[in-house]
A and B are shown apart, each in its own frame.
Chain A
Amino acid sequence: MEMLQVVRADGEYDSKLEPNLRAEDLTKMYRYMLLVRRFNERMLLLQRQGRIGFFIESTGEEATQIGSAFALNRSDWVYESYRDPGVCLFRGVPLKAMVDQLMANADDLGKGRQMGVHWGYKDWNLVSLSSPVGCRLSQAVGTAYAAKFKKDNIVCMTSFGDGATSQGEFHSAMNFAGVFKVPVIFLCQNNQYAISLPVRRQTASQNIAVKAEAYGFEGVLVDGNDILAVYKATKAAVDKARSGGGPTLIEAVTYRMGGHSSSDDPTKYRSSEEVELWKARDPITRFRTYLTKKGMLTEQADRNLQEEVENEIVSTIRESEKVPPPASLSMFTDVYAEMPWHIKEEADELMREKS
């Protein structure tokens, strides 16, 4: 199976494969890549300083996030992964909503009920994240079925890591998607590791994309560090889904530059040589070289963008840190639509104890 690549690691590109995108869209994509990179660096730092409890980095995977997000419409649905802050941001979620989530403060749209990186933003059709991987795939199939049933012209994308493909629920979802031929895009961000385990210990298959064949639909292998390739592959899958052609499995081959999470030490299970090898394939450096070659980005403009995203992040952190934690009683709401008597009793008891 051939891997789709438009821009090589050195920034050289195949003009026959270039998607037809406007310069302003390309620079917007680049800006979001920078924003995600800086967001990752800053949030990890906040975790180290004890200002947020937990974080999961997605450094190195910016092209996959932004390239796929750009291929979707605003009305499409996404079951994103915890390594998708870029997808959320690109779809329009305010940076503050993301930082509020990490701080689990009173402004968090999830009301501080989940640990960090469990994104969920209804206004942007981003479904609230689960920690167990794989379980969201069949949900995405259900949403795609419902959209098709209602004759809405929307598609549903779900992204997940290589580890998720080992779950039985991956099989169930792929199988249901094929049988019901729903407009769903399965985007596997193969970042080579599921915590400590390399992908060769997740599957003996030559790659992940090839698995689609067994479910009766197309699998596509794409260079996940090449934003134009990711966009192109996702756009093709989206167009196919929208026109009734059914599901696609995309495997974006990328690399998790950091640890699994803020609690992980990757030096225990992988070599620095390997990390260096992937550093040379960095998605942002590559896209910067491409844009520079195309005359769409100058050094000065690049510096300005970097400064801009840095300021945006710093001022957002300042804003989010002013927000108090959620009120104690908020713990008891939303278990059910209406509070049942036993939870009401417990809430009253807590109130009495506190007063």
Chain B
Amino acid sequence: MAVLNMVQAVNRTLRDEMRRNGNMIVMGEDVGRDGGVFRATEGLLDEFGSERVLDTPLSEDGIVGMAIGMALYGLQPVAEIQFMDFIYPAFNQIVSELAKLRYRSGGQYPARVVIRTPYGGGVKGGHYHSQSTEAYFIHTPGLTVVTPSSPYDTKGLLLSAMRSPDPVMFLEPKRLYRTVKEEVPEGEYLIPIGKAKVIQEGADVTLISWGPMVQTCKEALPLAAKENLSVELIDLRSLMPFDIETLIESVKKTGRAVIAHEATKIAGFGAEISAQISERAVDSLKAPIIRVAGYDTPFPYALESTYLPSPERILRALRKASSY
């Protein structure tokens, strides 16, 4: 079993699936000769050739539009958008076209496209290389949205995304690309979309997170343990659809919920999780549901480390929830 980081896990998984599926295409800016700016597609051009690994002109709407047209004809494109912050020229293609084709055609034209895109801060990239805007896409009926927080999950979720009959936004937490390493099995395994992972079981507070913030939550766990707080940490992994059963089961046990995400707070996905918990488990709640999130400002460059939720901020939220 190889020890891989997240970029390597993406790379190997794309490679393995391209070997298995001759209709799979990888496309995007700099994905071929350059192997992608994060090297996620390195080596694919050499192995599969330029008809299957497409260096496209610099145009996000062109990339997604073309991927849709390919998918309708039976290819299975995996498109890379270099940074999630650059995705907006393709917003119409994703939201009005890709997401809605199955529905508005009465089921005649499902569009099977995976869009991979790195997101999140912590790489000193400023506003245009750091944002977490998953909520836009979760808010769009028709899209599946997933985000791994480890190399192991990256492989299993990416495989599921590529085999999904629906369009999938595969959000890759870029600051974890090379910082987290673990053993990833060589053989094929699928992590079902819609299933959360309980990373640590606990009795006092449920801590819910996803993507890059899962790592920060993990760093908060020993701090909480020192204060005798027993925390149950859940990595959602799938944001749409999300695993309501695991969430509710946990909150019914602990009676407290803290949600941690990097995205801005107002109308962030944490708000939806909070609403779902209060609608379904209000009788079990011993404290208000607390959100730890990015501040409601544009993403700052110099003050990035202050902006991003830290283990200490998460600890303060856990303490606060437990104080009721």
User: Which A residues form the contact surface with B (CB < 8 A)?
Assistant: 77, 108-111, 113-114, 118, 120-122, 127-128, 130, 132, 135-147, 149-150, 156, 168-169, 172-173, 175-176, 179-180, 333-337, 340-342
Contacts and interface: CB of A to CB of B under 8 A. Distances in A.
Interface string B130-157: 0000000000011010000000000000
A102 to B, nearest CB: 14
B70 A143 contact: yes
B51 interface: yes
Across the A-B interface, give the 4 residue pairs with the lowest CB-CB distance, nearest first.
A142-B69, A138-B65, A146-B73, A172-B62
Interface string B68-104: 1111111101000000000001001100110001111
A149 B241 contact: no
A175 B62 contact: yes
A188 B96 CA distance: 22
A110 B144 CA distance: 22
A156 B73 CA distance: 11
Contact of A342 (B59, B97, B241): B241
Interface residues of B, number: 46
B224 to A, nearest CB: 31
Q: Is the interface of B mostly helix, strand, loop or mixed?
A: mixed
Contacts of B241: 340-342
Contact of B102 (A180, A337, A341, A342): A337
A91 to B, nearest CB: 15
Contact of A335 (B62, B72, B74, B103): B103
A141 B69 contact: yes
A272 to B, nearest CB: 37
A146 B65 contact: no
B67 interface: yes
18 contacts: A108-B106, A114-B104, A118-B104, A122-B108, A128-B105, A128-B109, A138-B62, A139-B97, A142-B67, A142-B69, A144-B69, A147-B73, A149-B70, A176-B57, A334-B106, A335-B141, A337-B110, A341-B194
Contact of B92 (A128, A135, A146, A175): A135
Given A175-B59, A176-B57, 16 more contacts: A109-B108, A120-B109, A128-B106, A128-B108, A139-B68, A139-B69, A141-B62, A143-B72, A146-B70, A150-B74, A168-B61, A169-B61, A176-B56, A176-B59, A176-B66, A334-B102
Contacts of B142: 335-336
Given A139-B68, A142-B69, A168-B89, A176 B107 contact: no
A108 B107 CA distance: 12
A137 B66 CA distance: 9
B229 interface: no
B304 interface: no
Contacts of A149: 25, 51, 70, 75
B34 interface: no
A180 B51 CA distance: 10
Nearest to A156: B69
Nearest to A118: B104
A176 to B, nearest CB: 5
B166 interface: yes
B298 interface: no
Contact of A120 (B56, B75, B108): B108
A110 B244 CA distance: 32
B223 to A, nearest CB: 34
Contacts of B141: 335
Contact of B66 (A127, A145, A335): A145
Contacts of A169: 61-62, 65, 92-93
A102 B61 CA distance: 30
B165 interface: yes
Nearest to B66: A142
B65 A142 contact: yes
Contacts of B109: 120, 122, 127-128
Most buried by A among B71, B73, B96: B73
A343 to B, nearest CB: 8
A135 B67 CA distance: 12
Contacts of B54: 180
A284 B181 CA distance: 70
A65 B71 CA distance: 26
A159 to B, nearest CB: 15
Contact of B103 (A136, A146, A334, A342): A334
Contacts of A140: 69
B21 to A, nearest CB: 13
A341 B25 CA distance: 31
Contact of A77 (B68, B73, B244): B73
A142 B25 CA distance: 11
Scoring B70, B71, B110 by chain A CB atoms within 10 A of each residue's CB, the highest score goes to B70
B192 to A, nearest CB: 12
